[in-house]
């Protein structure tokens, strides 16, 4: 069973001589303290999450070994450029606070390094500045054990409902038997922390195609999603063009290239807001045909040449 968990991460860690030796061993060459940037991340913990699942403390110990040498990627991009960080050391930290399951809280701390280059400069600044805060980890466990009856939920369902309390005991799934650790990734700060669990089949969590392969229903669903995504991208492109057009009409004093580059950075909601605001401005400037601001394309009958972009 593959899982992805998210948590807080990205803390500066000092480089000791001992750390440099570990890093050099992984990098297979001697690294100087000034060549690497190191930081620590909270990879995962034993707290019961909002899906009522948690890593058992023993699983964290097992994952500690598996995560050494694994890569950290950024924004879920599998580009070579993105695979810029690597975990060189891990440690299970035990605290006195209790989890919702009633046992001491512990978490897996990963120490990661990045080679300082022009390409990693901006990322390092983002980590230092605390922008890249959330970390998600991908790993595989063998069992998902019901906390009430001990049955392996990967194999059978037991009738207990996760999140319910039975005789004062919270029902949750305990993730046990770490089989593999894939990577950790910084995710663009999500609205809510610990944004949940993605469960998959087979290996390679990030590759939906692999997950769907051989399953007709899943493949159809994936194809449908791809088609919808393509249509969404086309629509977004149209929306961006419209924002640029209206921005020019609104007389903001910005060049087309500047507007285009701004529009490229906006997400859907922001584009809609920009379209509305620019449309209003454009409508005020050209009160004769304000409705043109809202996408009615009557270029052929246009009285005012200013609308032709």
Beta carbon of residue 67, minimum distance to Zn ion (angstroms, whole number) = 30
Contact assessment for residue 2 and residue 199, using Cβ atoms and an 8 Å cutoff? yes
Selection from 9, 38, 5, 13 nearest residue 24 by Cα? 38
Minimum CB separation of residue 153 from Zn ion in Å reads 8
Contact between 194 and Zn ion by CB under 5 A: the answer reads: no
* Span from 40-48, 139-147, 209-217, 250-258 in contact with Zn ion (CB under 5 A): 139-147
> Which two structure tokens, joined as six digits, stand for 109?
């701390």
Distances in Å between the Cα of 245 and the Cα atoms of 225, 230, 270, 271, 295 are 30, 23, 16, 12, 10
**C-beta contacts of 293-301 below 8 A and 24+ residues apart:** 293/246, 293/249, 295/242
Q: How far is CA 88 from CA 10, 65, 192, in A?
A: 15, 10, 29
> Between 89 and 160, whose beta carbon lies closer to Zn ion?
160
Q: How far is the CB of 43 from Zn ion (least distance, A)?
A: 28
- Considering the complex, state which of residue 114 and residue 148 has its C-beta at the smaller distance from Zn ion: 148
- Give 161 or 209: the residue with its C-beta nearer to Zn ion: 161
Of 172 and 307, which has the nearer Cβ to Zn ion?
172
Contact window for Zn ion (CB under 5 A) among 40-48, 74-82, 147-155, 205-213? 147-155
DSSP state of 152: B
Task: Tell me whether strands 53-55 and 11-12 are parallel, antiparallel or unpaired.
Answer: unpaired
**By the rule CB under 5 A, 173 interacts with Zn ion:** no
Under rule CB under 5 A, residue 158 binds Zn ion: yes
d(CA 144, CA 139): 13
- Nearest-Å Rg of the Cα atoms of the chain is 25
259 close to 278: Cβ distance less than 8 angstroms: no
Size of the site for Zn ion (CB under 5 A): 5
Farthest-apart Cα atoms in the chain, separation:
77
Candidates 54, 133, 160, 245: give the one binding Zn ion (CB under 5 A): 160
Q: 146, 206, 211, 212: which one contacts Zn ion (CB under 5 A)?
A: 146
Site for Zn ion in 13-72 (CB under 5 A): none
Stretch that binds Zn ion, among 9-17, 57-65, 142-150, 225-233 (CB under 5 A): 142-150
175 binds Zn ion (CB under 5 A): no
- Asked if 149 is part of the footprint of Zn ion (rule: CB under 5 A), the reply reads yes
Exactly one of 148, 181, 243, 292 binds Zn ion (CB under 5 A); that residue is: 148
Interacting residues toward Zn ion by CB under 5 A: 146, 148-149, 158, 160
């Amino acid at each position: 069973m593959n899982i992805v968990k998210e948590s807080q991460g990205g803390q500066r860690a000092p480089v000791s001589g001992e750390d440099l030796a570990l890093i050099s061993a992984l990098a297979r060459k001697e690294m100087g303290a000034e060549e690497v940037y190191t930081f620590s991340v909270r990879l995962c913990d034993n707290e019961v999450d909002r899906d009522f699942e948690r890593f058992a403390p023993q699983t964290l110990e097992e994952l500690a070994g598996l995560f050494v040498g694994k890569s950290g990627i950024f924004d879920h991009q599998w580009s070579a450029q993105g695979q810029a960080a690597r975990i060189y050391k891990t440690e299970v930290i035990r605290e006195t606070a209790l989890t919702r399951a009633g046992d001491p809280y512990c978490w897996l701390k990963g120490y990661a390094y990045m080679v300082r280059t022009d390409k990693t400069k901006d990322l390092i600044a983002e980590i230092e500045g605390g922008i890249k805060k959330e970390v998600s980890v991908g790993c595989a466990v063998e069992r998902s054990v019901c906390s009430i009856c001990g049955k392996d939920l990967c194999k059978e369902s037991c009738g207990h409902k996760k999140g319910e309390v039975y005789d004062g005991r919270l029902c949750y799934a305990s993730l046990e038997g770490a089989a593999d650790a894939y990577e950790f990734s910084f995710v663009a700060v999500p609205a809510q922390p610990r944004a949940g669990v993605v469960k998959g089949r087979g290996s390679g969590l990030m590759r939906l195609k692999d997950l769907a392969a051989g399953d007709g229903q899943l493949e159809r669903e994936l194809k449908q999603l791809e088609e919808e995504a393509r249509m969404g991208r086309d629509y977004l492109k149209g929306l961006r063009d419209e924002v640029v057009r209206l921005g020019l009409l609104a007389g903001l004093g910005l060049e087309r290239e500047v507007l285009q580059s701004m529009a490229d950075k906006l997400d859907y909601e922001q584009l809609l807001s920009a379209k509305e605001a620019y449309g209003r401005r454009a409508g005020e400037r050209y009160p004769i045909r304000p409705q043109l601001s809202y996408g009615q394309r009557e270029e052929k009958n246009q009285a005012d040449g200013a609308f032709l972009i």
